[in-house]
Amino acid sequence: MGSIASRQFNIDAGLLSSVVLLGAFREATAAEEELPQELWLTGVVRDFQERTAPGGHPDFEQAPAHGFGHYSGNVAYTLGDDGKPVFTGEGRKISDQARDAQGRPIAAHLANRQFVSGGATAAPHACTVLRDSHGTDAYEVCLVSATFNDDGTSTWTYRVSELAAMGRGPGPRDLSHWNLKLDPGHTVLPGTTPGHDVGVDGSTGFHGIKWDMTDDFESGEFTIVLDGHYSAHQDPAGVLAKGGTTPDTGAMHVPSASVSSEAGPFGTDPAALADAPGLDDTTASASYSDTGGITSASTFDQWYRDTLGVNMSAPLPLLFQRQADGTYVFDDATDEQYRDLGGFFPIEDRLLGNPGGNPDRNYHFTFELHTEFTYDADGNQFFRFVGDDDVWVFIDGKLAIDLGGVHSATEQNIDLSRLGLIDGGRYKLDFFFAERHRTQSNCRIETNICLETSPETALPSITAAFD
């Protein structure tokens, strides 16, 4: 819903003048890496019937109780265990958006607040890229999961990959060993991945747990079982990888030295917000409590999951073009596939087909996109969306853009420095979109982040789930 003419496509000139795109080597003395001119990113589109059609979904063509508009707060600040948004139903209608000191619209919950970094409040799934002895990005280590077990132990799983084996680096594939920092007071228990040594590594002086790699190693997961409920701690040199003659260390979530009384390794709130009045943001104006036209948690759960008899799904690639200012843009108004369609209509006469009537366009679908990127603390990285209807963006599992509701084309921005990310860390960016109402469908995404897909963000299973 909305008009293309209502979009605002200007970005603060001061921000753009300071943008340093991702893809540069982390050290200032290193040469800038060539960035692609195009990014193809593939997500999943799901088609629905509107609520008045046989088998229709009650949330599509449903007007919110307090009228069309932008509603914020109807999803949780963190993704669910399966990586999908969680419906809370605690939304408020937004009449004036929160704005940062530069006047750019931001999510209401981030006004003069930012997510806490490090310690027990940091979200999992951060990754770190490490270099080989030639100074080339060569290895990636990710925390996959950390769990408090009922018997008082904790389980930590990390994924280690050679970038060349994943098609993300030139090689050579020469990982000799990798180490994770542990405290001398930790006891490593049975259930830990075999082949490890615990203590001080004689070749590097690094204290922790170590695995030597074989010549044919490409990627694998390593599990550590410890003797207590240790909270997750962000250590700036928590992981080591050695290829060739020179080791490299990087930031990583590792078990803390002391036992935690929290409910889990990342505390009771994996996305804790801290007051930051120095940001000089303007808070949002909110009025009515309203779910924004979402019937219930169970109907919302169908938006981004294949559901037999309710929706049909298919892969959907989007082309992001690099601009002269270094940003990457997808815009249905200029994209060759969409500009002649007069909007973002990716499944015209496909899947469940157009609904008929006037205009006979397919306005009833959702789209999800899962990507990864490397955070550059000096890069002024940002993500901006303009469009309709509902859009939620999660970065590192934290809600960064909250544009719920059935509304005209609306803008929101996120400056990644608000998210408590660690320089050089690998993170997820998850994008969720819904088009639920005639008469327009608009989508413009603008970012200076070089997004990419990876095994961690593989497409969900695709099914034509309609009986």
- Whole-number mean pLDDT of the chain? 84
Cα four-point dihedral sign 99, 102, 103, 104: negative
116: tokens are 């806490």
Q: Where are the domains of the chain?
A: 4-24+35-109+285-457, 120-259
Q: Which residue has the higher pLDDT, 23 or 84?
A: 84
Q: What pTM was computed for the model?
A: 0.67
Would you call 190 helix, strand, or coil by DSSP?
Answer: coil
CA gap 155, 145 in Å, rounded: 8
Residues with Cβ < 8 Å from 249, sequence gap 6 or more? 130, 206, 237, 238, 239, 240
Specify the pLDDT at position 121: 32
| Long-range contacts of residues 213-219, Cβ cutoff 8 Å, at least 24 apart | 213/175, 213/176, 213/177, 213/178, 217/162, 217/173, 217/175, 218/161, 218/162, 218/165, 218/166, 218/173, 219/159, 219/160, 219/161, 219/162, 219/165, 219/166, 219/455
Q: E strands, 194-299, where?
A: 196-200, 207-212, 219-226, 230-243, 246-259, 273-275, 285-289
Q: Say whether 297 sits in a helix, a strand or coil.
A: helix
Which two three-digit tokens encode residue 96?
């004036």
CATH number of 120-259: 2.60.40
pLDDT above 90 for 3: no
As a three-state string, the secondary structure of 134-158 is CCCEEEEEEEEEEEECCCCCEEEEE
pLDDT, position 49: 95
Are 401 and 412 contacting, i.e. CB atoms less than 8 angstroms apart? yes
Q: Measure the CA angle with vertex 387, ends 413 and 10; round to 5°.
A: 55
pLDDT digits (tens, 9 = 90+) for 245-292: 889 998 888 999 888 877 678 765 555 677 787 899 999 998 888 999
